[in-house]
């Protein structure tokens, strides 16, 4: 690859989580009986007028704001003309001349690198088409999806590898989910992504691109683009030209196949939609967009790592869902160390939730309860094993930790006198270890702890044992 350079730009479509379709009042619901959620507007009957869904345009501006776009003072809708049976009007209402947002960027984190800024070319609101189902003996059409709100996000070709594209789509998915504008389900097509890719000799700029479609997971996106880069390289190595075309990812075969030569914008005869006035956001509307903007997942992750000292892998997990990050912050606010809260949430809490197949938000564990549990451990009221038992009981019985500790008699007895006696005995038997310790070599601490744990049949609290040893030898 060394002589070559690769360029990847993504075109992402997200289904906005609106109640109704983008230009009519039909429910935007999936899985209903075919052709139930239709009306003269989304079926393209003559003489009917579309009307813009406020929720859809609000979500669009919110995404534009989150992606640092220049937001349109006047968002204009255009007709994109083409014929296909899944679209009864023979045109799709989209945006071309003045989309909701332009010239933005999205920062992503790449493995082993700093963050990378990916420029956003534009974002525009449009309507989805219906679904064509090819059955034996003919094709069936379901227009329930026709006219549902789609937001398209187009990046500049700033991504370099299949891995970059995978990271982008995963972090972008996280963003739109946390913004509450899309459920991000790629298998079901709520988030769809086409990958555009070209290669060229280093320093020569962009090459002739191909567009890869039919990738319904971030992993397939990575595989398809990596495949495509290899394929293009082989062609160039042989002195052959790349054909600009659309290709399909064949998941089973693990390769892309030519589908059609790519049409260009002028083929669509875009022109302004005469039935919809331009959308002009008021200061009040833009104020509400600002209010709805959340701290972006990457910024939050960075803050957790840099300001709260959370480990990177834990910060990843904590910021995957907004509810988890909120839960974590509320636990810390209840007065426990961030490191302890992160370790509990990413460790035992996750494990037990998974086992019970419930989400954190649905469980009977609250930030206050987790903080109380962590404090019980810190104060040595319960040991680690006891604490785990308490956690499970909180989840199963919906009670406060203190109540469970009392009911089950989980308080640790104060057995420091007993442990001190043990330490003295082991010290007597191992004068060399004691000498090492007192001369500043800490290695034997592990030996002492091990001996005492064994002598106590594993019941002693290793942390307590450590501090007793340190106290005894004045370390």
**Which residues bind to Zn ion, rule: CB under 5 A?**
24, 26, 39, 41-42
Binding partner selected for residue 262 from ligand ADP, Zn ion, none, CB under the kind-specific 5 to 8 Å limit? ligand ADP
**CB of residue 285 vs ligand ADP: minimum separation in angstroms?**
28
Residues facing 260 on adjacent strands: 246
Q: Decide if residue 92 touches ligand ADP (CB under 6 A).
A: no
Q: Decide if residue 156 touches ligand ADP (CB under 6 A).
A: yes
Q: Decide if residue 197 touches ligand ADP (CB under 6 A).
A: yes
**CB of residue 370 vs ligand ADP: minimum separation in angstroms?**
43
Which tokens in the block code for residue 450? 């091990």
Of 11 and 389, which has the nearer Cβ to ligand ADP?
11
Sign of CA dihedral 30, 31, 37, 43: positive
Instruction: Please give the span between the terminal C-alpha atoms of the chain, in angstroms, as a whole number.
Output: 57
Backbone angles phi, psi at 149, to 5 degrees: -75, 125
CA pair distance 262, 248, nearest whole angstrom: 12
User: Which among 391, 371, 368 is positioned nearest to 379, based on CA atoms?
Assistant: 371
Candidates 43, 110, 154, 453: give the one binding ligand ADP (CB under 6 A).
154
Number of residues that bind ligand ADP (CB under 6 A): 17
Q: Decide if residue 7 touches ligand ADP (CB under 6 A).
A: yes
Of 197 and 419, which has the nearer Cβ to ligand ADP?
197
Candidates 4, 5, 11, 466: give the one binding ligand ADP (CB under 6 A).
11
By the 10 Å C-beta count (0-12 exposed, 13-18 middle, 19+ buried), 372 is classed as: buried
Binding partner selected for residue 264 from Zn ion, ligand ADP, none, CB under the kind-specific 5 to 8 Å limit? ligand ADP
Binding partner selected for residue 26 from ligand ADP, Zn ion, none, CB under the kind-specific 5 to 8 Å limit? Zn ion
Of 264 and 432, which has the nearer Cβ to ligand ADP?
264
CA pair distance 137, 135, nearest whole angstrom: 6
Candidates 265, 291, 432, 443: give the one binding ligand ADP (CB under 6 A).
265
For 200, the enclosing helix (H) or strand (E) is strand 191-201
CA pair distance 317, 236, nearest whole angstrom: 42
By the 10 Å C-beta count (0-12 exposed, 13-18 middle, 19+ buried), 177 is classed as: buried
**CB of residue 306 vs Zn ion: minimum separation in angstroms?**
49
Binding site for ligand ADP (CB under 6 A): 7, 9-11, 154-157, 196-198, 206-207, 209, 262, 264-265
């Amino acid at each position: 690859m060394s002589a070559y350079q690769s360029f990847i730009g993504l075109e992402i479509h997200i289904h906005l989580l609106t109640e109704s379709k983008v230009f009519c009042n039909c429910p935007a619901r999936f899985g209903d009986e075919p052709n139930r959620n239709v009306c003269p507007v989304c079926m393209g009957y003559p003489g009917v007028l579309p009307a813009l869904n406020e929720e859809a345009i609000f979500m669009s501006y919110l995404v534009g704001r989150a992606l640092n776009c220049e937001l349109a003072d006047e968002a204009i809708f255009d007709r994109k003309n083409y014929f296909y049976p899944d679209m009864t009007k023979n045109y799709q209402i989209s945006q071309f001349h003045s989309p909701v947002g332009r010239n933005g960027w999205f920062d992503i984190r790449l493995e082993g690198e700093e963050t990378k800024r990916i420029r956003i070319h534009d974002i525009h609101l449009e309507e989805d088409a219906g679904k064509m189902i090819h059955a034996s003996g003919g094709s069936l059409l379901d227009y329930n999806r026709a006219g549902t709100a789609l937001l398209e996000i187009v990046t500049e070709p700033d991504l370099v590898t299949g891995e970059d594209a995978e990271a982008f789509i995963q972090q972008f998915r996280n963003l739109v989910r946390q913004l509450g504008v899309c459920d991000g389900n790629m298998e079901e097509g709520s988030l769809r992504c086409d990958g555009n890719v070209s290669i060229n000799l280093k320093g020569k700029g962009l090459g002739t691109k191909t567009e890869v479609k039919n990738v319904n997971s971030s992993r397939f996106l990575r595989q398809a683009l990596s495949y495509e880069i290899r394929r293009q390289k082989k062609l160039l190595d042989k002195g052959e030209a790349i054909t600009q075309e659309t290709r399909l990812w064949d998941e089973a075969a693990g390769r892309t196949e030519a589908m059609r030569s790519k049409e260009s914008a002028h083929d669509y005869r875009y022109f302004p939609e005469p039935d919809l006035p331009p959308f002009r956001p008021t200061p009040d509307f833009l104020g509400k967009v600002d209010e709805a903007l959340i701290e972006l997942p990457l910024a939050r992750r960075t803050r957790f790592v840099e300001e709260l000292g959370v480990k990177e892998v834990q910060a990843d997990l904590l910021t995957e869902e907004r509810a988890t990050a909120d839960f974590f912050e509320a636990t810390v606010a209840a007065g426990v160390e961030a490191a302890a809260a992160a370790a509990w949430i990413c460790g035992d809490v996750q494990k037990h939730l998974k086992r019970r197949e419930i989400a954190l938000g649905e469980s009977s564990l609250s930030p206050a309860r987790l903080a109380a549990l962590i404090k019980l451990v810190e104060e040595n009221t319960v040991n680690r094993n006891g604490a785990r038992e308490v956690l499970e009981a909180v989840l199963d019985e919906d009670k406060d930790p203190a109540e469970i500790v009392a009911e089950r008699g989980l308080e640790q007895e104060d057995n420091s006198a007993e442990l001190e006696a043990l330490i003295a005995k082991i010290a007597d038997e191992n004068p060399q270890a004691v000498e090492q310790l007192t001369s500043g070599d800490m290695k034997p601490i592990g030996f002492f702890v091990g001996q005492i744990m064994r002598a106590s049949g594993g019941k002693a609290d290793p942390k307590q044992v450590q501090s007793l040893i340190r106290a005894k030898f004045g370390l």
